[in-house]
Structures are given as C-alpha cells and as structure tokens.
Amino acid sequence: MIDHSHPLEQVKAIQKKLTRFLMMYKFALHEVETKIEILQEEFQLLHDYNPIEHTKSRLKSPESIMKKLYRKGGIRSLEDIRHTIHDIAGIRITCSFISDIYRISRMLQAQKDLKIISIKDYIKNPKPNGYKSLHMLVEVPVFMSDREELVCVEIQIRTIAMDFWASLEHKIFYKYNESVPERLLADLKTAADTAYELDTKMEQLHHEMEEIKLAHQHAGEGEFQLLFDNQKLKIPDNLLQLLSGDEKE
Ligand code: GTP
Ligand code: MG
C-alpha cells in the first residue's frame, strides 16, 4: 500500500498512474501506425504506387489535455478524461489524391480489430471556413501484461493541399488569437477553394497517367524487367539477346 500522506510517495504514485495512462495511448498509436505501414507497403506492391505521402502521429501533452478539459468542464478522473477527450492519440495521414483518402479509410474500416466510433467527412461537407479533411475516431485494443484496454485514436486523412491549407490556417488563428480580420478569413476561404481545384485537377491528371501506363504495359507485354535494389529496371531486347547468347555457350 502506498502511504498517500507522504508527499514523495504520492508524487510517485501520480507519476506512475499518468505514465500508465499515456503509455496506453502510445501503444494504441503504434498499432494504428503499423496498420497503416502494412496497408501502404501492400498497396505499393499491388498497384505500383504509394497512396500515402507521409504520416505523423502525436500524443496530446498533459497541458493541452488540461486546457481542453477546462473548456469542456466537469471532469474528475482519468476515466472521465478518456471518455471526454478523443484526440489524446492522433495520427495524420497525408495522401496525394482525394480518392486515396477514401481508399485508406475503407481499408481501415474493413479491419476487424478496429472499432469505428465515428467518421466526419469534412471533404463532402467542408467547415464554413473552408477546412477539409476526413476524420475517423477508432478504438483499438491494447494488450498489456495485466489487462486489455480499448483505446481511442483520432485519424485525420487529407491531401497535401488540404494539409498545407490547414497548417497555415492554424498558424493564422494562433497569431491573431482567434480574432482574425474579415478580409483574411475571406482570403482563406478562397485559398481553400483553390486548393480543392488543384486536388481535383491533380486527380484527373493522375487518372490519365494511369491509363497511359496501363496501355503501355499491355503494349509491352513480354518486356523483360528486372527487380533490382527496389527498382524496376527495363532490360532492352539487345541486351537480352546478348545474354541469351552467353547462356547457350
Ligand atoms: P475538438 O475540436 O478536437 O474539440 O473536437 P471536434 O469534435 O470539434 O472535432 P473535429 O473533428 O471538428 O476537429 C478535430 C481536429 O481537427 C482539431 O483538433 C484539428 O486538428 C482539426 N480541425 C478541425 N477543424 C479545423 C479547422 O477549422 N482548421 C484547422 N486548421 N484544423 C481543424
Ligand atoms: Mg473542433
């Protein structure tokens, strides 16, 4: 039994409790990160392109957790925090194309051990300021030595253009302490629309390129390729002939 009247013991006990609490979220993040890595690698192998530009995970700091708690009010225990703050563990996936966002979201939804708590589609329904992203709240089971916990992780999936916009908008809000001048707000909204136009255009170009690639693949069927050092090397016919001559000798 810990003697809670002793300040040092008490501090230690609190530290341990908090560490265990945060650790749970860290493990949950690892699990989701691994899932995403697997999807990414498998996709690359099957479809010969990478739908994910990059991923970034973060744990909310105790300070930010407390700030958010004060905004929400009425919280007395760690258990309350768990049920109130859903973005203690957060992972952001940046994709090249909008279709990749939905593809990844579908692939995650199909995983049996991920429980989907909610999906908010701010791409089909952007926020009034122009914010776009797909948000998923999921619960992932974390197995520890003495218990199993279902831990909530927030996944934000967006394009590079949406991410660029969101990080600038975030900086502007921070800078102006949330009272951003009207003109800037209007400009930001326009920028969000422009970013979306770029996303749509890039997606269209990507499709066209994929079609050309496919046509070339059909035309070049039987073409000799060598997988070397993670690269596909085209082996020209004359080299192939030269080498097959060697083989015969
Ligand atoms: P909280 O905002 O986290 O209290 O929860 P909520 O239920 O309102 O969730 P929502 O899905 O709206 O937003 C969660 C997260 O998405 C935020 O913490 C931000 O990271 C991001 N986000 C939402 N809206 C905006 C926005 O207008 N601009 C930017 N830059 N990020 C946003
Ligand atoms: Mg919000």
Dihedral of CA 68/62/60/109: which sign?
A: negative
What does pLDDT average to over the chain?
Answer: 90
Work out the average pLDDT over 64-87.
Answer: 86
d(CA 44, CA 59): 28
Of 17 and 157, the one with more pLDDT: 157
Least confident span in 23-32, 95-104, 116-125, 222-231: 222-231
Of 5 and 24, the one with more pLDDT: 24
Q: Token match 């990749």: residue?
A: 100
What is the four-CA torsion angle of 131, 37, 81, 163, rounded to 10 degrees? -20
- The best mutation among 86, 156, 184 to test binding of ligand 1, ranked by most ligand atoms within 8 Å of the C-beta, falls on 156
* Closest C-alpha residue for ligand 1 atom 29: 166
- The best mutation among 69, 93, 134, 135 to test binding of ligand 1, ranked by most ligand atoms within 8 Å of the C-beta, falls on 135
Least confident span in 89-93, 190-194, 235-239, 242-246: 242-246
Work out the average pLDDT over 36-63.
Answer: 92
The pLDDT score that the predictor gives to residue 195 is 97
Under 8 Å between Cβ of 15 and 60: no
Cβ < 6 Å from ligand 1: which residues?
87, 120, 127, 129, 131, 135, 156, 166, 169-170
pLDDT value at 5 more than 80: no
Work out the average pLDDT over 127-148.
Answer: 95
d(CA 241, CA 192): 55
Q: How far is the CA of 87 from the centre of ligand 1 (A)?
A: 10
The pLDDT score that the predictor gives to residue 40 is 93
pLDDT value at 112 more than 70: yes
Partners of 137 in the beta sheet? 118, 154
